Amino acid sequence: MNQTPKRSDEPVFWGLFGAGGMWSAIVSPAVILVIGLILPVALGDNIMMGLTFSAKAKSIILFMSSFLGRMILLFTIILPLWCAMHRLHHTLHDFKIHVPAPKLVFYGFASLITLLACYGIFHF
């Protein structure tokens, strides 16, 4: 029996998988509702009439411009992505479809998108 077992990196990916699944089930619908439905309606009514932003639209834009709003937007992008990449990695393994260097491909892609999302959200 091996007295010094090799450490696994799976707990990190399972943690991101679980966090992404919970985030996409609980928080993402609310964020999509606010940004995808309420904000365009609030902006559309006033812009069509040539008026300025409504108070509702201003408060949403101000919140999403704050640090907390940017973090929520960042997590809404990256956590479901990590969940999807982990699920895709294990699904292909279960179907015996072997991708060369699967952790590098799937988790590398998720890492790249995470870095791009961080840059895009906090740079602009």
pLDDT-derived band at 61 (thresholds 50, 70, 90) equals: confident
DSSP designation for 84: H
- Quick check: is 4 in a domain? no
- Quick check: is 47 in a domain? yes
Q: Give residue 111's domain range.
A: 13-123
CB atoms within 10 A of CB 29: 11
Identify the sign of the CA torsion 59, 65, 66, 70: positive
- Quick check: is 5 in a domain? no
98-114 residue pLDDT tens: 999 999 999 999 999 99
- Quick check: is 6 in a domain? no
Whether 49 shows a pLDDT value over 90: the answer reads: no
pLDDT of res. 34: 86
pLDDT of res. 24: 95
Query: What does the block give as tokens for 64?
Result: 């999403």
Q: What are phi and psi of 55, to 5 degrees?
A: -65, -35
CATH code assigned at 112: 1.20.1300.10
Mean pLDDT of 113-118: 97
Whether 44 shows a pLDDT value over 80: the answer reads: no
